[in-house]
Amino acid sequence: MERGSPPRPELWFRVGVIGNRWDKLGLAGPARTRGPEDGGPEGLERTRALETALERVTRDLLTQVAARLGAVAGDEAAGYQPGGGATLAVVSGLAEGADRVAARAGLSAGYQLWAVFPFDPERYADDFDERWSGPSWSRPGAQAEFRDLCQQASATLTMDGVPGRYDAYQALGRAVLDHSDLLVAVWDGDRSRGPGGTANLLLDARRQEVPIVRIDPAQPEQPWLEDLRQDDEGRGDGLSRLWRRLDDLVRPPEQAGLVDPAAWNGRTAFFAETAASGRLGVAYRTMRDFLLGLHAPIAAVLAPTATVWWRLLPKLGRRRRPLDYAAAGVAAWTERYGPTLGRIPGLDTRVIGRLGPIHGWLDQLATHYADLHRSTFTIIFSLAWIASVAAVLALIAHLRHWPTATAFAMIELGVLGLIFALTIWGNRSRHHRKWVDYRHLAEQIRHLAFLWPLGGAAGFARMPLRPSVDDPRVAWTGWYYRAVVRQLGFAVDRVDAAHLEACRATLRDREIPDQRRYHDDGAAAFRHLHHVVHLRTEWLFFAALVVSVAHLLGGAELVAGWFGAEATRADRAELVSAWLTVVSVFLPARAAALHGWAGHADFHAAALRSAAIEMHLEEQERVLDTLGTVTSGTLLDAGLAAARAMEGELGAWRATSLSRPLVRP
């Protein structure tokens, strides 16, 4: 990881395998279950012949995938860490049949083996009783083969399934699927015999839009990329469309043809970032804090905003020192997640060490560009009313032949020029787009703090089969998020009661309460800002109305009669009339500028969004509090529901924010 710039991901890719055991593979006839004719040496010989064919086809497939990914890893323009190559893994449950065939094929093709067990591996080994007869149809030497593959595994994960239960293998299947970027299914097309079976896992994979390579045991030499839109499910195309699909998954969007290559490239801009320093970006916060401090109605109406700029000047004089963004991220995550994840030895170190630096960069950069963008439009709206008043003063001075007419005109021209310059600078610097991209990605990475240990990291990283242009998963942020998820590996080596309690506490006692407080405080602040601005603009418009009515009713002559001699009353009335005109322009112009600033900041909609997500998260708290027996499945479902609620609010914020670029008032 480069210390002075955001971390580039490594190219990792995981191929999961699911499929039938020998009780359904290599049958003597069209029957769906084995019979006496499948026993003995002849039946074993048929399985060995099928095994050889399956292993050859799977190895060829994996070799082609490795070559394709190796080319991507070697392409510096693809954005991965240079010189790192591709780290490839086969994820297998190591059951007899398809699981082990793919495991051996992967090892021979240079892949790592990641093994997933439904429950304790010693108890799991009892499934393989080495009796070549029903109901297990386990081949002789199966247990030795299992132990040999376990020793060759680079990583193992033991799930919390209960031996003998109807759903004992469901957690294994979900774990394999969550750690699969491509799924190889050796399947006879028959329905599953229970949760966690091949057919059920394929349904889940289709819902998640995981690319599936199908291998029919009856015709193993003809694998194909499944496409249920076609009558033959894609058999006729074979693997021809797989390579484009792989490019969509691992290549950056402009290389994969998903976005216009000539468009602005946020990915290269992100990798070129450095820790920000400077004096800009404080105007918005200063204005916001000033308005948040106004509680009495009289203060909300009369407190002069000119004091904001006096508060701002000292801040502009202090140069902000750049932070170590990675270290800041680790420190923040250690404080937030360390107390709960630390209950499992090594889990906090792994989660915080892998994700904290990435989130630190994204979070700090998002904050920096948010401040720049918001401060830019704060200054622009503050200048807008000055230009209006200067224009009126220039006109009055010209009509009265004052020598200051040119000065007022120059002020107007200078202010308008500054507004144009700020708008062009902000748009060309992409402050707005960088803020939205970095914040969206930072929040997604933060959700991994509880999704990864739960085994749900891939839930929001899937690439849609038919993406829309505005789908964030197609953008560079989706590419980066998928790359981060792929390189995570297993969070732990065993999912047990202690691990589940640590995950539950992270979600229930840290993440959700912190987010509820954040959104509750945010909703209150946004409501207050909206109220203050609304009250202030109403009174400014009312004051403008009073001034205009007074002007029409001869207020200038009345005021002029109070001061000076009779001979100078006409001149004084003309002067008062001029100033009343200026005030009648200033008041609505200031109100309009303040209202435009608040509208661009979107306080009202932000308050509604924060209040809505706070209620959704409260509901998720109740769900977690009423969980019965906590299993990896029930807790993962709760975690995904909480993440979906937060992702929903994040998507709404992103869509709204992108619709409000920097514009001239």
pLDDT (tens digit per residue) in 632-660:
999 999 999 999 999 998 999 998 888 88
Look at residue 200 and tell me whether its pLDDT is greater than 60: yes
Cβ atoms within 10 Å, residue 72: 21
- Give me the residue spans of the domains in the chain: 11-251, 283-461+493-658
Look at residue 312 and tell me whether its pLDDT is greater than 80: no
| Residue carrying structure tokens 């242009």 | 469
What's the confidence (pLDDT) of residue 28?
46
73 burial (CB, 10 Å; 0-12 / 13-18 / 19+) is buried
Give Cβ neighbours of residue 197 (< 8 Å, ≥ 6 apart).
169, 173, 191
What's the confidence (pLDDT) of residue 120?
96
The one-character DSSP state at 510 is I
Q: pLDDT band for position 554 (50/70/90)?
A: confident
**Residues, the chain, total?**
665
Look at residue 33 and tell me whether its pLDDT is greater than 70: no
In degrees to the nearest 10, what's the CA dihedral of 275, 278, 281, 283? 160
What's the confidence (pLDDT) of residue 260?
83
Look at residue 574 and tell me whether its pLDDT is greater than 90: no
What's the confidence (pLDDT) of residue 273?
93
Look at residue 237 and tell me whether its pLDDT is greater than 90: yes
Average pLDDT over residues 625-631: 87
The answer for 660, left when phi > 0, alpha when psi is -120 to 50, beta otherwise, is beta
Characterize the bridge pairing of strands 182-186 and 11-19: parallel
Q: In degrees, to the nearest 5, what angle opens at C-alpha 659 toward C-alphas 481 and 591? A: 135
Look at residue 319 and tell me whether its pLDDT is greater than 60: no
Look at residue 384 and tell me whether its pLDDT is greater than 50: yes
Report yes or no: 177 and 209 within 8 Å, Cβ to Cβ.
Answer: no
CA distance 454 to 640: 9
Average pLDDT across the chain, whole number: 89
CA distance 394 to 231: 76
Look at residue 661 and tell me whether its pLDDT is greater than 80: yes
Q: pLDDT band for position 29 (50/70/90)?
A: very low
Least confident of 15-29, 62-76, 357-371, 476-490: 15-29
Characterize the bridge pairing of strands 212-216 and 219-225: antiparallel
Least confident of 141-145, 478-482, 597-601: 597-601
Look at residue 606 and tell me whether its pLDDT is greater than 80: yes
Give Cβ neighbours of residue 61 (< 8 Å, ≥ 6 apart).
184, 213, 223, 239
Share of the chain above pLDDT 70, in %: 92
CA distance 81 to 89: 18
CA distance 572 to 592: 30
398-401, long-range: CB < 8 A, 24+ apart: 400/574, 400/578
Q: 3-class DSSP state for residue 190?
A: coil
Look at residue 1 and tell me whether its pLDDT is greater than 50: no
Q: 3-class DSSP state for residue 199?
A: helix
pLDDT (tens digit per residue) in 278-287:
666 788 988 9
pLDDT (tens digit per residue) in 432-487:
999 999 999 999 999 999 999 999 998 888 998 887 777 889 999 999 999 999 99
Look at residue 492 and tell me whether its pLDDT is greater than 90: yes
Report yes or no: 445 and 358 within 8 Å, Cβ to Cβ.
Answer: yes
pLDDT (tens digit per residue) in 387-432:
989 998 898 888 888 888 899 999 999 999 999 999 999 999 999 9
Average pLDDT over residues 234-254: 94
Share of the chain above pLDDT 90, in %: 64
Least confident of 117-126, 134-143, 362-371: 134-143
The one-character DSSP state at 278 is B
Give Cβ neighbours of residue 82 (< 8 Å, ≥ 6 apart).
8, 76
Q: Tell me the pTM.
A: 0.91
Look at residue 2 and tell me whether its pLDDT is greater than 50: no
Looking at per-residue pLDDT, the higher value among 230 and 195 belongs to: 230
pLDDT (tens digit per residue) in 149-174:
999 999 999 999 999 888 899 999 99
> Can you name the CATH fold of 11-251?
Rossmann fold (3.40.50)
What's the confidence (pLDDT) of residue 134?
75
